[in-house]
Structure 1
Amino acid sequence: MVVVCAALTALVSFVTLGAAAPTSGPSVSTSQGTWLGASVFGVESYKGIPFAEPPVGNLRFAAPVPTTKNFGTVDATRYGKSCPQLNFANGVFPGFFNNIAQDVLDLVTSLPILSAIASTDAAEDCLTLNVFRPAGVASTAKLPVMVWVYGGAFQIGGTSMYDATNFVQRSARLGKPVVFVTMNYRMNSFGFLPGKEAGADPSVSANAGLLDQRLALEWVQQNIAAFGGDPGKVTIFGESAGAISVAFQLTAYGGNIISSTTGNPLFRAAIMQSGSPIPVGPPEYGQGTFDTLVSAAGCSTASDKIACLRALPYSKMRDATNALPNILSVRSVSLPFLPRMDGDFIPALPQELTRSGRYAKVPIVNGDQYDEGTILTLGALNITTDAQVKTWLKTNWFPRASDAQIDGLMAQYPSDPRQGSPFDTGLLYAVTPQSKRINALVGDLVFQAPRRAFVEYTRETQPTWSYSSRALRAAPFLGSFHGNDILSTFGYNPLAPSQEIQTRWINYAYNLDPNAAGFPNWPQYGKNAQLLQFTDLVSKVVPDTFRQSGIAFIWGQVDSFTL
């Protein structure tokens, strides 16, 4: 945990530095108005630019509506409000472990990096984006554009967490400057309302948050040239829920990435850091979530429950949303709010879309951390017996799976801590008799199995690279934990992966190839299924053969193991 806290402290220090007072006042004019930005350390930023009408009133839960307003001359030196957040500060940890785990959570949520997305800084009127570029870039520069989608389990997150100054600085130092865009999108009940009632109401989108992202990409197509970016050279990338979002942008409308306004592709390449097209079902698979939300909102007896939810004041809707479990509860990554197969944006089960090749044929990079599950299972520490694990899987994860399928899954992932995560640590870090087993299950169910399946399809149809990161693997109890790649992507990690990842991603935005001079060759995934393994020192190529039997079993039951 010391390693984790040190890394977070470094991140906080950098963000505080990046927030220094602007030293000049650059401006950019678009059809929406003139944006007065800031210039710090050789990087210009333009923040809080609206790309949609406020999603309030009758637009709550609805697909976003593009804004046509001319805003005149606007101070664009501050981030817009974050979208509504699910409260992570509740006491969610079980029994004996409550005090320790809650103390860790309280420490993390008190850090300045997270204060920017606290509920006091959130609002429904939140659909804004930010543009970072090297200072002095001309509108005719036609630089590659990198569009970041933040993670947060579709529950929390905001662009104010992600200062792109360091990334843009490195691109300039490499002689390959990029324009960097971040956007807010709706999450939790506001962006991913499930239930049969939501699915049957044409005014509701079960994937409103994904449509927010799509509209931001449309904004890029129409406006980024004014900032010196090339709308024909857009790379989308993200981490965790952001990576899953990128995956669903690839499969959207069965692989259609053509802009509805320009007729050109919305992007030409994608990077998914800890996320792939996860197997999610229709809105009715989330009926329990909808029913709990409606009950907490006092709308259970309403004849039109959607209208009742829409009529609630923001504070009451937010409080009702917080009646649902967060990612640190016993449910872990079996989340209450997820993208859903809606017959439109996600036209079929994601696994069927990938099986049938209905995804955008652009170059992709898709990788995971080695120990994805460790930091995501704190709420499951009271599950200490085989029987409890089976009940947990059957109740919280896969109620449509048979007992035989659950038993088969447990046989593939035994309670032997030597086979659990953090991997390759023997008997160490076994907090409970089942904790390392649960860590391994969660990591493979949500991350490794969907990734391996996806890249095995895409290697046949487009350039595909995959990786496994073992960075920070010495972190006690956590290993190479979920989310630590953010430290490298945004330049907060002083160790080797930060420079390598940033350099590779920038090269990829330019050349559609993540190889870069001075680093080991990274082969395409191909039939020999080779991964690049990031470490704290030197990366190397390794085969993608770990836990073949278990991961193959998971994907073999994927239609029953659908969330």
Structure 2
Amino acid sequence: MLSVMLAWLSLALFNGALARNSICPTVDVGYATYLGNQTYPNTVAYLGIPYAEPPVGDLRFRATVPLNTTRVSEEASLNGVVVNATYYPDFCVQGTTGAGDAGGAGSEDCLKVNIYSPYGVEEGDNLPVLFYIHGGGYVYGNPRNWPFDNWINQSPNVIIVSVYYRLDSFGFLTTPEFADPTYGDFNAGFQDQIQALKWVKSYISKFGGDPTKVTINGQSAGGSSVELHMIANEGEQLFSGAIAQSVFRSPLPTPEQQQPLFQFYASYAGCGTGSVAEQMTCLRGASISALARAQDAAVQGKFSGLYNSFRPVLDGMLITGHPTSMFERDEFAHVPLIVGATSNETLSGGANISLALKEYFPSLTDAVIQEFLRLYPADEFDSLSQQFQVATGEPDVICGRQAMGGPSSLHSNTWTYRYNTPNPTSGSDVVAHAAENWMMFDGTNTGLNGSTTFTPQTPAELAFTSELIAYWLSFVRTGNPNIYKLDRSPMWEQYTELSPVRMVLMQDPQNLTIVSGSYMESQPATEAARCAFAISKAQACQN
């Protein structure tokens, strides 16, 4: 009883302080008023704003349920004047990063967005919106690790929304029986993103944003998500531009191909017997820790099936085809696009190209793998490690630049890039996957179970960061990265199939802060030919 009284007293003091301080940044969305956190003089962060009902209990493994605004309003009126949105929310339940760690941290009640806005912005200002989708292989990731406060501080003329969505088995559990929603729903984690975009369409105007001018942006699995949004049957227009960074060209298996993984998972979690209905009832009653152990076990060598990861699937309803093929068939959203990759990335490990391709693309036949190998003869590379990186990195990630950029350029203004500055904390000159995240987000390095480490950046690094942010937010504001670029930055020429040019984004080699190290280059013909082959094998690769 004493603890309850103290809690009410604390809340009363909190609300009293708000009433006395009229300059506290708040936004009334109609059903609740949210208090933001002023992180710079010109920047406010509204953290953990719910966009959907918590997917707990019977809603576990089901399609996203729109937010019950009546419930939120009633809870807000019971708890005080405003809802405190000054601290980061619980992140979604994590899977293992693949580094031998165990996942499981986080919460199922995680369907929230963080909103970053200029201080003093009002409804009617109609600022363009960046909607950011984090990476992590659809398995892990915490939006807190990729903050946008300094983006708004640099360019206080946009609204930025960063989304939390269900991950790993919680977001992408699949069995063919989900064709009947009585049991569950396909691609629940991707449906979370769609519902968040619908919430933005309905309410971002209250934060000063323009719901008709939303650019979706993501890196890795976030880049893959951008690609999927461009080909998915979403029923309404939810975005007007797209930025896809290092697109995770993951296979989209069928529900039938995922069924062995479902059965392993259910059995490992103690729910392996009975009908699918009985198994799902058991799984919905299982603890998060039991499910976390089961999803980790699948990728830690305890499951022998071909498809051992929980990721988006070809459900035939929301996602009806493989993205690369749908781009080739002109079945995608025609919006301005930026798409690119880092110089040296791959998402495969080991040293055997054939084994790596087979592990990444389980449906590849030996004959197709041999065709891939003939494109990457060892004598064309400086080392075997470089041969492996290019031979796996192009089909894994890099060729997404051509697979999306080529078809897009026939209909919309399109820009491509090659990011060419290594993460300085890596101790390597290799410009690996996610290198740009370190530069764009305060020196972040993702850790285990939703954690990260931020490393201070030098003046030259901060200068390069500002250059990247300027390009990105110019595109968000105008559909063109050049309009509001920094004066020192070069003009970013458009990509076309006849002129496949790209920007090389890199820090000044002399570490100067007043000049840019970025420059334009043409796509090498050998890379174009290899990627054309990878694109032609989209059905075999299932991407």
What is aligned with 1:481?
A: 432
Query: Partner of 1:542: helix, strand, or coil?
Result: strand
Taking the TM superposition and a 5 Å limit, the aligned residue runs for 1:128-527 are 128-172=112-156, 177-199=157-179, 201=181, 203-253=183-233, 258=236, 265-275=237-247, 279-304=251-276, 305-325=279-299, 336-373=309-346, 376-377=347-348, 380-381=349-350, 383=351, 389-394=353-358, 396-415=359-378, 419=381, 426-427=382-383, 435-472=385-422, 477=428, 479-492=430-443, 494=458, 495=461, 496-515=463-482, 516-518=485-487, 519-526=489-496, 527=498
Residue 54 (str. 1) matches residue 54 (str. 2): yes
CA deviation digits over 1:216-243, x for unaligned, max 9? 1111111111111111221111111111
Following superposition, the deviation at residue 487 of structure 1 comes to 2.5
Q: Contact 2:216/2:242 (CA < 8 Å) preserved in 1? A: yes
Residue 540 (str. 1) matches residue 504 (str. 2): no
Q: Contact 2:493/2:501 (CA < 8 Å) preserved in 1? A: yes
What is aligned with 1:76?
A: 85
CA gap 1:200/1:520 in 2 versus in 1, 3 angstroms: same
What is aligned with 1:99?
A: none
The CA distance in 2 between the partners of 1:473 and 1:50, in whole Å, is 33
The CA distance in 2 between the partners of 1:230 and 1:239, in whole Å, is 23
Q: Contact 2:128/2:477 (CA < 8 Å) preserved in 1? A: yes
Following superposition, the deviation at residue 473 of structure 1 comes to 7.8
In the alignment, structure 2 segments of 5+ residues that lack a partner are: 1-20, 77-81, 444-456, 509-516
Identity %: 30
Query: Partner of 2:297: helix, strand, or coil?
Result: coil
CA gap 1:392/1:46 in 2 versus in 1, 3 angstroms: closer
What is aligned with 1:31?
A: 30
The CA distance in 2 between the partners of 1:412 and 1:514, in whole Å, is 34
Q: Contact 1:278/1:350 (CA < 8 Å) preserved in 2? A: no
Amino acid at match of 1:145: V
Q: Contact 1:198/1:306 (CA < 8 Å) preserved in 2? A: no
CA deviation digits over 1:87-130, x for unaligned, max 9? 337638xxxxxxxxxxxxxxxx9xxxxxxxx744x111110111
CA deviation digits over 1:104-163, x for unaligned, max 9? xxxxx9xxxxxxxx744x111110111111212222321111111111110101222122
The CA distance in 1 between the partners of 2:533 and 2:186, in whole Å, is 30
CA gap 1:392/1:488 in 2 versus in 1, 3 angstroms: closer
Following superposition, the deviation at residue 82 of structure 1 comes to 0.7
CA deviation digits over 1:345-374, x for unaligned, max 9? 11222233212211111111111111111x
Amino acid at match of 1:60: R
CA deviation digits over 1:477-508, x for unaligned, max 9? 56111111112333545425312210011111
Q: Contact 1:488/1:502 (CA < 8 Å) preserved in 2? A: no
Amino acid at match of 2:364: A
CA gap 1:478/1:241 in 2 versus in 1, 3 angstroms: farther
The CA distance in 2 between the partners of 1:512 and 1:273, in whole Å, is 16
Amino acid at match of 1:340: V
Q: Contact 1:361/1:461 (CA < 8 Å) preserved in 2? A: yes
The CA distance in 1 between the partners of 2:355 and 2:334, in whole Å, is 40
Q: Contact 2:338/2:415 (CA < 8 Å) preserved in 1? A: yes
Amino acid at match of 2:313: R
Q: Contact 1:250/1:359 (CA < 8 Å) preserved in 2? A: yes
Residue 528 (str. 1) matches residue 528 (str. 2): no
What is aligned with 2:10?
A: none
Q: Normalising to structure 1: TM-score of the pair?
A: 0.79
What is aligned with 2:95?
A: 86
What is aligned with 1:261?
A: none
Following superposition, the deviation at residue 451 of structure 1 comes to 2.5
CA deviation digits over 1:18-38, x for unaligned, max 9? xxxx99732111123111121
CA deviation digits over 1:309-331, x for unaligned, max 9? 222122212221121227x9999
CA gap 1:257/1:371 in 2 versus in 1, 3 angstroms: farther
Q: Contact 2:467/2:486 (CA < 8 Å) preserved in 1? A: no
* Structure with larger Rg: 2
Pairwise CA RMSD? 2.8
Following superposition, the deviation at residue 513 of structure 1 comes to 0.4
CA gap 1:26/1:284 in 2 versus in 1, 3 angstroms: same
What is aligned with 2:3?
A: none
CA deviation digits over 1:425-467, x for unaligned, max 9? x34xxxxxx5443322331112122321221111111111111
Following superposition, the deviation at residue 279 of structure 1 comes to 4.8
Q: Contact 2:343/2:432 (CA < 8 Å) preserved in 1? A: yes
What is aligned with 2:17?
A: none
Query: Partner of 1:83: helix, strand, or coil?
Result: coil
The CA distance in 2 between the partners of 1:184 and 1:162, in whole Å, is 12
CA deviation digits over 1:51-94, x for unaligned, max 9? 111111221111100112224221111111111101337638xx
The CA distance in 2 between the partners of 1:329 and 1:80, in whole Å, is 33
Following superposition, the deviation at residue 269 of structure 1 comes to 0.8
CA gap 1:123/1:412 in 2 versus in 1, 3 angstroms: same
Following superposition, the deviation at residue 197 of structure 1 comes to 3.8
Following superposition, the deviation at residue 290 of structure 1 comes to 2.0
Query: Partner of 1:53: helix, strand, or coil?
Result: coil
Query: Partner of 2:298: helix, strand, or coil?
Result: coil
Q: Contact 2:322/2:538 (CA < 8 Å) preserved in 1? A: no
Query: Partner of 2:494: helix, strand, or coil?
Result: coil
Q: Report the number of matched residues.
A: 480
What is aligned with 2:446?
A: none
CA gap 1:281/1:471 in 2 versus in 1, 3 angstroms: same
Amino acid at match of 2:56: V
Q: Contact 1:415/1:436 (CA < 8 Å) preserved in 2? A: no
The CA distance in 2 between the partners of 1:133 and 1:524, in whole Å, is 30
Following superposition, the deviation at residue 344 of structure 1 comes to 1.6
